[in-house]
Amino acid sequence: MNILILGSGGREHSLAWAVMQNPKCDRLIVAPGNAGIAQIAECAALDVENGGAVVSFAEENAIDFVIVGPEAPLAAGVADRLREAGVLVFGPSADAAQLEASKSFTKEICDASNAPTAAYARFTEAEPAKSYVCEQGTPIVVKADGLAAGKGVIVAMDEQTALEGIDDMFGGAFGGAGAEVVIEEFMEGEEASLFVLCDGEDILSIGTAQDHKRVGEGDTGPNTGGMGAYSPAPVLSAEIEARAMEEIVRPTMAEMKRRGMPFQGILYAGLMIKDGQPRLVEYNVRFGDPECQVLMMRLGAQVLDLLHAAAEGRLSETQVNWADDHAMTVVMAAQGYPGSYVKGSAIKGLDALPEDSSNMIFHAGTKAVDGQVQAAGGRVLNVTSRGNTLQEARDRAYAMVEGVDWPEGFYRRDIGWRAL
């Protein structure tokens, strides 16, 4: 099979790493890729949000299967263009991608399917939104409706923060994403993520994970894209996972099908769990980054068969083969992230570190310059290990982190603290 993966982060490096191990993969191209991906696959420059360009590239390179990594091409309809051209693709249509691209759409689906989630109201003007906040009281959560690169959510502990957030959103701080605002009940509990393959008809859970969104140890400081993750998530017991599948994911999928927009791809359900009850925080329509890295580390080569089965509508005859293992990834980021940071610093020591089925450094934001690996983003490396216990996975990952010679980088030393 000739395979094309779209994307350039640690998520796509880990997808490529797993897919490559499957003997059904004859040729793998990642577009645009990065310096780490270039060590294991071909990389190609391509505007991945341009459906026409992606279709032409797939046809020119006799691609049999396309795997879409990030949400932007999905929201832009790239999977639709590929399907229209007869190219097999893993990833939802633009209509179905509204589960991530529009928070009010997701709330409507939850209402229609009776899925447990936070109570909410939606607004297109600031004044009624502010009155609602004053009526409801705090804590309360203010969200821009559209895609805002993870920044469009304000968890307001006091009224002033909520009111300022509303002004910022309607003032255009998130562009068109803030033209509509959703205000939600604040949910207490512990957060965890569930990853479910969907083929439009059937669903198959492929694992759970938890990440650390705050930049600082003890989960303090500003939000980031994620500073580390581990799988499985102990809080998502088999019983709670089954509840989430039956009460949240399955009814969502049925409602999507009923609306003529069946969802095919990976559904990432962000859950809040309290007293054994899971409630939906949000959906994403792609793998989490860095959650994908720990899932790929655990699943390995079977990932290609699983994604292919989802794309071809064969999930009912597919199963996941689990090892009773644990994986952890530690994100190494450029000093200053998530604020401004310097690009171009040299990263050394990578060649001496192990790369095998239990240890891998996935590249998130790197560039090869004259044979040297340089930092090219905020989140730069995902140091990932597997073990029989979470503690073993953690010890291995941090041992590798010690071996990376990159004075301009930093990382959190407490990934997994909640689970250990």
Binding region for ligand GLY (CB under 6 A): 150, 211, 225-226, 284, 288-289, 291
- Residue 287 CB, nearest distance to ligand AMP (Å)? 15
Query: Rounded to 5 degrees, what are φ and ψ at 32?
Result: -85, -15
Tell me which of ligand AMP, ligand GLY, none is bound by residue 241, counting a contact when its beta carbon lies within the kind-specific cut-off of 5 to 8 angstroms: none
- Residue 129 CB, nearest distance to ligand AMP (Å)? 15
Compute how many residues bind ligand AMP; rule: CB under 6 A: 13
Segment 123-142, which members bind ligand AMP (CB under 6 A)? Answer: 141
Residue 247 makes contact with ligand AMP by CB under 6 A: no
- Taking the C-alpha atoms of residue 3 and residue 342, their distance in angstroms, rounded to an integer, is 34
- Residue 137 CB, nearest distance to ligand AMP (Å)? 14
- Residue 283 CB, nearest distance to ligand AMP (Å)? 9
- Residue 359 CB, nearest distance to ligand GLY (Å)? 21
Residue placing its CB nearer to ligand AMP in the complex, 185 or 312: 185
Residue placing its CB nearer to ligand AMP in the complex, 154 or 296: 154
Tell me which of ligand AMP, ligand GLY, none is bound by residue 288, counting a contact when its beta carbon lies within the kind-specific cut-off of 5 to 8 angstroms: ligand GLY
- Taking the C-alpha atoms of residue 287 and residue 5, their distance in angstroms, rounded to an integer, is 13
- Residue 272 CB, nearest distance to ligand AMP (Å)? 6
In the shown chain, the binding pattern of residues 250 to 289 toward ligand AMP, with x for contact by CB under 6 A and - for none, equals: --------------------x----------xx-------
Residue placing its CB nearer to ligand GLY in the complex, 149 or 369: 149
In the shown chain, the binding pattern of residues 172 to 211 toward ligand AMP, with x for contact by CB under 6 A and - for none, equals: ------------xxxx---x--------------------
Tell me which of ligand GLY, ligand AMP, none is bound by residue 186, counting a contact when its beta carbon lies within the kind-specific cut-off of 5 to 8 angstroms: ligand AMP
Tell me which of ligand GLY, ligand AMP, none is bound by residue 289, counting a contact when its beta carbon lies within the kind-specific cut-off of 5 to 8 angstroms: ligand GLY
Tell me which of ligand GLY, ligand AMP, none is bound by residue 282, counting a contact when its beta carbon lies within the kind-specific cut-off of 5 to 8 angstroms: ligand AMP
